[in-house]
Structure 1
Amino acid sequence: MPRYAFEDFTPGATRMLGPTIVTKEALLAFAREYDAQPFHVDEVAAKDSFIGTLIASGWHTCSINMRLLADEVILDSTSLGSPGIEEVKWLKPVRPGDALRSRMTILESRPSASRPSLGLVRFQFEMLNQEDETVFAQKNWIMFGRRDAEPVRGAGRGVLSAAAAAMPDQAPERELPHISSNPFFEDLVIGETEELGSHTFTPDDIVGFARQFDPQRFHVDAEAAKDSLFGGLCASGWHTASVWMKQMVGYRDRIRAYALAHGGRPARLGPSPGFSNLKWLKPVYAGDTITYRTTVSSKRASASRPGWGLVFHHNTGTNQHGEEVFAFDGMVFWERRA
């Protein structure tokens, strides 16, 4: 029997997970695959960036937290996955050599109204570096089977959608005309949507990411996944999110190349302070092709960073059946015109 079931998560309880060391090699490997912005992959270029030094991708930090949670709690539990993330804050940069620990606090728990065999637990994670500085904070729900209940099998699409429905409503997606080819902060038009690109999730991709960051059985073992809640091999939610970042970087690289080819200077993007309202609405199965889009939802000039603005965006991923599988609200620093 797993050590942890729904009943074992007591609101108010706290424990520390980790530590783990963020090596330069691991930082660069993740960034090159999913978030190849200069301040994540190039030490020289990073010196002239918003931060001024090489730092980890925020999505890498999220994935590291997932791995700590998996190793010390989830893999010995009745975990049935998560419907999404309420909020993430990237509070301080994570640099090569940092030693990270994650303080896990149980905020609340409640039985499922529709499925008595499972319950939902709300967590808070605060990741600390070797200086005891909080570099990352996250709040989210995770579904767990009850200790004496029969295993829940093959209901993944419905149960994720139902659980995600309890989280805050997402902004509606709108297809509108394209933004300019090289937008600075002033050029961005609220409400306009861009298609970033598409990605097909292969079994090898899914298992490779999950073995590194989220080795739950329905992410790493196709046979075991058939007998799980999801009924088949499916991607870690952090994998789905990291591929969104990869598509965003690829899209920005195409804009940059176009601007340079036409004698323009590309607008720079800075780091992101965090995101909210992330929902994994449906499982992403092996063979699914997800198309990612982003919509500018609002923007404002930065009071603390002259020459920069803060842009808010709503993001989605849609599978080949036209079903929305992923959504979140993000923010990023964006260069203003000189």
Structure 2
Amino acid sequence: MHAFEDLPPGFARTLGPLHVTKEDILAFAREYDPQPFHVDEVAAKDSFIGTLIASGWHSCSLNMRLVADGLILDSTSMGSPGIEEVKWVRPVRPGDTLRSHMKVLESRISKSRPSLGLVRFHFDMVNQADETVLTQTNWVMFATRDAEPFSGEGRNVLAAVADSLPGDHPQRELPPISANPFFEDLVIGETEELGSYTFLPDDIIRFARQFDPQRFHVDAEAARHSLFGALCASGWHTASVWMKRMVGHRDRIRAYALAHGQRPARLGPSPGFSNLKWLKPVYAGDTITYRSTVTAKRPSASRPGWGLVFHHNTGTNQHGEEVFAFDGMVFWERRG
């Protein structure tokens, strides 16, 4: 079993393989990211992408599965405080076989908890042609070899660790964005409330069994004796539900536009995200409200008719505590 001491800088391993079917792509997208280029082969041909591809959040979850099977499940892992950066370099397509090249970049003992170590990883997930489809850099917490058992101490650990990592995410209380905005209509600083979601135990376990089967995500009794003290959602589940609520919000905007005789503004794919932080565990029964704030925008130099929009995103639980945050970007249609 790998403890913190077994993961020095330079430690490297190739994880996988993992085969991805069209049914896998459709199942994830229908649940969390039902955009046309993820759920409909015919519609995908006329989209920004031109073919059916996996959701970027599905790609991240698949990398998590590779990491879980190849390292985490045989380790003293205590979860991750967040992700520094993900780049979706190429789409994951039906029939792809994925591997992940893992390397430890640095490691250090937690200043506040000497029995916990932080390990910074870089992952290059590649397809069967050895083409990079995703890159990811993030920290993972591991217990040291001589650590005493943890039990329910993790409710504030993620926030304490995440606060020591790069990124600044001030909370904002701003008015909602206008209906059916095109790129030119977006106002920097305006916030959309995307909706809420209650994480039920069966949903937490179902997602985790497929993508992130660490004990505190799949077994309520084992979770009681873990750092987190109770069953909690995978961070990738929290993030995927953000996407689910974002798509639902866009669907409502589209319906509003059509009902008022307007053509809905289209969104394209995202090149990636950065500064993702899982600030507090999301426990079974928690209700998370998601919001998105436009932080910057610029016309696309490579794709006429499109702009690139940058946004800061948060999830807040029923106690008003921010549990999740990240900075994203997406291609957004300009007015014709």
Task: Using structure 2 for the length normalisation, give the TM-score.
Answer: 0.99
Counterpart of 2:46 (choices 45, 48, 58) is 48
**Counterpart amino acid of residue 308 in structure 1:** W
Matches within 5 A, 1:76-225: 76-225=74-223
**In structure 1, how many angstroms separate the alpha carbons of the residues matched to 2:300 and 2:62?**
30
User: Per-residue displacement from partner, 1:68-91 (whole Å, max 9, x unpaired)?
Assistant: 111111111000000000000000
> Is 255-264 or 171-180 further displaced after alignment?
171-180
**In structure 2, how many angstroms separate the alpha carbons of the residues matched to 1:144 and 1:258?**
48
Matched-pair contact (CA < 8 Å) for 1:78–1:145 = yes
CA offset at residue 17 of structure 1?
A: 0.3
**In structure 1, how many angstroms separate the alpha carbons of the residues matched to 2:293 and 2:270?**
16
**In structure 2, how many angstroms separate the alpha carbons of the residues matched to 1:56 and 1:258?**
27
Matched-pair contact (CA < 8 Å) for 1:153–1:229 = yes
CA offset at residue 171 of structure 1?
A: 3.0
**In structure 1, how many angstroms separate the alpha carbons of the residues matched to 2:145 and 2:262?**
61
User: Per-residue displacement from partner, 1:253-301 (whole Å, max 9, x unpaired)?
Assistant: 0000010111000000000000000000000000000000000000000
Q: Secondary structure at the match of 2:246?
A: helix
Counterpart of 2:256 (choices 250, 258, 273) is 258
Q: Where does the alignment leave 5 or more consecutive residues of structure 2 unmatched?
A: none
CA offset at residue 178 of structure 1?
A: 2.0
Task: Answer yes or no: is 1:320 the counterpart of 2:309.
Answer: no
**Counterpart amino acid of residue 251 in structure 1:** H
CA offset at residue 170 of structure 1?
A: 2.4
**In structure 2, how many angstroms separate the alpha carbons of the residues matched to 1:149 and 1:177?**
47
**In structure 2, how many angstroms separate the alpha carbons of the residues matched to 1:221 and 1:7?**
27
CA offset at residue 112 of structure 1?
A: 1.1
Q: Secondary structure at the match of 2:233?
A: coil
CA offset at residue 155 of structure 1?
A: 1.2
Task: Answer yes or no: is 1:329 the counterpart of 2:327.
Answer: yes
CA offset at residue 201 of structure 1?
A: 0.2
Cα RMSD between the aligned structures?
0.7
- Tell me the residue number matched to 1:61: 59
**In structure 2, how many angstroms separate the alpha carbons of the residues matched to 1:171 and 1:187?**
24
Q: Secondary structure at the match of 1:156?
A: coil
User: Per-residue displacement from partner, 1:314-338 (whole Å, max 9, x unpaired)?
Assistant: 0000000000000000000000000
**Counterpart amino acid of residue 12 in structure 2:** T
**In structure 1, how many angstroms separate the alpha carbons of the residues matched to 2:281 and 2:217?**
11
- Tell me the residue number matched to 1:282: 280
- Tell me the residue number matched to 2:2: 4
Q: Where does the alignment leave 5 or more consecutive residues of structure 1 unmatched?
A: none
**In structure 1, how many angstroms separate the alpha carbons of the residues matched to 2:151 and 2:117?**
15
Q: Secondary structure at the match of 1:151?
A: coil
User: Per-residue displacement from partner, 1:39-95 (whole Å, max 9, x unpaired)?
Assistant: 000101100111100000000000000011111111110000000000000001111
Aligned residues with identical type, % of pairs = 80
> Is 13-22 or 312-321 further displaced after alignment?
13-22
**In structure 1, how many angstroms separate the alpha carbons of the residues matched to 2:259 and 2:185?**
20
Q: Secondary structure at the match of 1:157?
A: coil
Count of aligned residue pairs for this structure pair: 336
**In structure 2, how many angstroms separate the alpha carbons of the residues matched to 1:226 and 1:171?**
30
CA offset at residue 224 of structure 1?
A: 0.6
CA offset at residue 151 of structure 1?
A: 1.7
**In structure 1, how many angstroms separate the alpha carbons of the residues matched to 2:274 and 2:25?**
24
Matched-pair contact (CA < 8 Å) for 1:280–1:327 = yes
User: Per-residue displacement from partner, 1:199-247 (whole Å, max 9, x unpaired)?
Assistant: 0000001000000000000000001100000000000000000000000
**Counterpart amino acid of residue 27 in structure 1:** I
**Counterpart amino acid of residue 90 in structure 1:** W
**In structure 1, how many angstroms separate the alpha carbons of the residues matched to 2:304 and 2:66?**
38
**In structure 2, how many angstroms separate the alpha carbons of the residues matched to 1:335 and 1:131?**
32
> Is 147-156 or 170-179 further displaced after alignment?
170-179
**Counterpart amino acid of residue 337 in structure 1:** R
Matched-pair contact (CA < 8 Å) for 1:103–1:125 = yes
CA offset at residue 153 of structure 1?
A: 2.0
**Counterpart amino acid of residue 258 in structure 1:** Y
Matched-pair contact (CA < 8 Å) for 1:15–1:103 = yes
**In structure 1, how many angstroms separate the alpha carbons of the residues matched to 2:71 and 2:12?**
12
Task: Using structure 1 for the length normalisation, give the TM-score.
Answer: 0.98
